[in-house]
Amino acid sequence: MIKLRAILIVGLLCFLLPVKNSSAQAEVFKNGDSYVFVYNEIGADDDTTRWETSNYASKSTISASGNIVKTLYYQLQNDHPFMGYSFVFGASINVGDAKLVDERVFLKKDGSFKVTIHSNGAGTRLPIGWIIED
């Protein structure tokens, strides 16, 4: 009985501990007519490799209230370090002087993902406790 209580308390504490906040792991910036996804890979001896991927397509939608939502579609290079992995990451998007955030970028194992930009600055926010702050 005591063992069960101890496991329950440890499990509850792990559940209630706050998730570590970190800045967005990637950056997207506008380069002419395309948007470039940038990831800086830090190697074992603190060498940094810069990976750049341009979007291959985009889609814009205008809501009834006048907000513009732009979706950017990407495909990573075959030798990119993220190829073969599936996870969620955050991306900051620099459009002119504005800095927007998409915190729910779903990378698929085939290296494809999409980034969503909301013109009103709302972005896509994760639930409280999962927020990726700048």
The predicted structure's pLDDT at residue 129: 47
74 in any annotated domain: yes
- Whether 83 has a pLDDT exceeding 60, the answer reads yes
User: What pTM did the predictor assign?
Assistant: 0.66
The DSSP-derived string for 41-104 is EE-TTS-EEEEEEE-SEEEEEE-TTS-EEEEEEEE--TT-TTTT--EEEEEEEEETTEEEEEEE
Query: Residue 80: how many CB atoms within 10 A of its CB?
Result: 15
Average pLDDT over residues 54-64: 85
**Is 4 within a domain?**
no
Total domains, the chain: 1
For 50, the domain range is: 27-119
Question: Does residue 130 lie within any of the structural domains?
Answer: no
Per-residue pLDDT band at 110 (split at 50, 70, 90) = very high
Question: Does 85 fall in a domain?
Answer: yes
* pLDDT tens per residue, range 21-54: 334 467 887 777 788 888 887 777 777 888 888 8
Assign 131 to helix, strand or coil.
coil
Flag whether 8 is in a domain: no
